Amino acid sequence: MPTAQRIMFASLLLIALGSPVLTFNMALNTNCKVLAHEDPLANLLYRYWGQDSYGANNPSDLANWQQDISYYCADDSIDTLPIAFLNVFYYTGGVPSINLANSCNTVNQSVFPGTALLDCSSLAAGIQACQSKGKIVTISLGGSSGSIGFSDDTQAKAFAQTIWDLFLGGSSNTRPFGSAVLDGIDLDIEGGSQTGYTAFVSTLRGLMAGGSKQYYITAAPQCPFPDSYLGPTLNQVQFDAVYVQFYNNWCGLNNYNNKNAWNFGTWDNWAKTVSPNSNVKIYIGAPASPTAAGSGYVDPSTFSNIIQQVQSQYTSFGGVMLWDASQAYANGRYDLAVKAALTGGGGTGASSPPNTTNGGASTTPTASPTPSSGSSSCGGVAAWQASQTYVGGDQVSYNGHLWTAQWWTYGDVPGGPAGVWIDKGSCST
């Protein structure tokens, strides 16, 4: 997702569709997550909270901007809220940095002296109120931009201790959420390299094992398998749930009817035959509205049918993750249609919005792009880089042509066999 949108997306909200006092059970397959930043559990709905995706796309519609975390906890369907994002791993003073859009920033909050780490302790009461209602609150690391990654395993292990001290069961003078103790972490890694993540998760698992309560570790990989950044780590250490992003990719929900594209079965096979956690659950990550992602959005009725089919076919299915809470609420409570599908209630919930350039898509497989014969201005457009991650809508120049990405991509050459890039014509400048 574009930097402005991902950093404005909300944190994950896992919504329990059953009794609001039930605690989250990762082993269930009637879960639904909605990203409230981004938020997306039985029956649960998972949403990210923190990035205000809708507000980023609709700055004048103040009534539907992301609300305080306690606002979403008042909804008895909410079970878990991953807060997004911790978007810088190392910064001034040797501590990470977080970005929570309108909820906590340098305008309404200060930073800890000598660091760039925001003091968001004003959110502590809301977080604790959520937890008092049996809801899980975690911190999501990464996002589509920022400074993330490790140089080696030693650095990764040290960072695990830092995360434990700042957000979980450890102690520090620079805890961003004050006295609030979060319930785990989520890894949404979309850049950098694979180095260190196995050591990071393994070290954190060890610290959690000695904690005084249950902690969770989840991941949100892209749907292309294996994931470019977390693939080896997912194979070597235990994750409680994996929220696969079936959007901004060729394997997105809009290609559900294309057997050569939709690959939930591949992730199901991984869960059953490779994952160190035999009970790991796979979630369908989906956009909660047409403006929530570049591609992958499907209307409530279509998505309800997909959920019911996947739920009956794959035992690893854990629920749905929606990106994000702000988008779901603004889109006629799209999450309620998802909840109904997960619990067998049927119905379409929100009205079906028209398809848009930003995210509207049908379930019909997309035809191969046809190169443009015209000319386009490449002025100000950066050249394609093999080491750069791109998402749907990003533009690059390559071999004298302007190209637009159809979905998330890494290392796919414009004009290559992957069919990721649309040729917009030769550069006029």
For residues 128 and 269, membership in a common domain is answered with: yes
For residues 311 and 409, membership in a common domain is answered with: no
If the chain, 429 residues long, is cut into consecutive pieces of 10 residues, what is the mean pLDDT of each piece? 38 30 48 41 63 86 85 75 91 88 88 94 94 91 88 96 98 96 96 96 97 95 96 97 95 94 97 95 93 94 94 91 86 86 60 30 30 61 81 83 77 75 83
Q: CATH no. for residue 155?
A: 3.20.20.80
pLDDT of residue 347: 42
Q: What is the DSSP string of 116-142?
A: --B--GGGHHHHHHHHHTT-EEEEEEE
For residues 105 and 234, membership in a common domain is answered with: yes
Cβ-contact 374, 329 below 8 angstroms: no
Hey, which residues are catalytic here?
A: 190
Residue with tokens 């395993």: 153
For residues 171 and 293, membership in a common domain is answered with: yes
Instruction: Give the range of the structural domain holding residue 136, as residue numbers without chain letter.
Output: 44-343
Last residue of a domain, one of 321, 343, 365: 343
First-to-last alpha carbon distance for the chain, in angstroms, is 28
Q: If residue 273 lies in a helix (H) or strand (E), which one and from where to where?
A: helix 264-273
Confirm whether 358 is domain-assigned. Answer: no
CA distances in angstroms from 203 to 47, 82, 207, listed in the order given: 27, 21, 6
pLDDT of residue 38: 34
Dist. CA 47–CA 41, nearest whole Å: 9
For residues 237 and 323, membership in a common domain is answered with: yes
Q: Which residues pair with 84 in a beta bridge?
A: 140
Last residue of a domain, one of 343, 375, 400: 343
Cβ-contact 225, 275 below 8 angstroms: no
Dist. CA 137–CA 337, nearest whole Å: 23
For residues 290 and 410, membership in a common domain is answered with: no
Q: Is 410 left (phi over 0), alpha (psi -120 to 50) or beta?
A: beta
For residues 258 and 119, membership in a common domain is answered with: yes
Question: Phi then psi for 167, rounded to 5 degrees?
Answer: -125, -25
For residues 78 and 145, membership in a common domain is answered with: yes
Confirm whether 255 is domain-assigned. Answer: yes
Confirm whether 406 is domain-assigned. Answer: yes
Which residue, 128, 248, 242, is CA-closest to 186? 242
For residues 174 and 115, membership in a common domain is answered with: yes
Confirm whether 271 is domain-assigned. Answer: yes
Dist. CA 371–CA 160, nearest whole Å: 47
Confirm whether 361 is domain-assigned. Answer: no
Q: CATH no. for residue 406?
A: 2.10.10
Cβ-contact 1, 13 below 8 angstroms: no
Confirm whether 3 is domain-assigned. Answer: no
pLDDT of residue 417: 61
pLDDT of residue 32: 47
Confirm whether 326 is domain-assigned. Answer: yes
Question: Phi then psi for 8, rounded to 5 degrees?
Answer: -105, 5
For residues 410 and 305, membership in a common domain is answered with: no
For residues 258 and 407, membership in a common domain is answered with: no
* Domains held by the chain: number: 2
For residues 88 and 163, membership in a common domain is answered with: yes
pLDDT of residue 13: 33
Confirm whether 285 is domain-assigned. Answer: yes
Helix (H, G, I), strand (E, B), or coil: what is residue 106? coil
Which residue, 412, 350, 370, 391, is CA-closest to 247? 391
Helix (H, G, I), strand (E, B), or coil: what is residue 353? coil
pLDDT of residue 60: 87
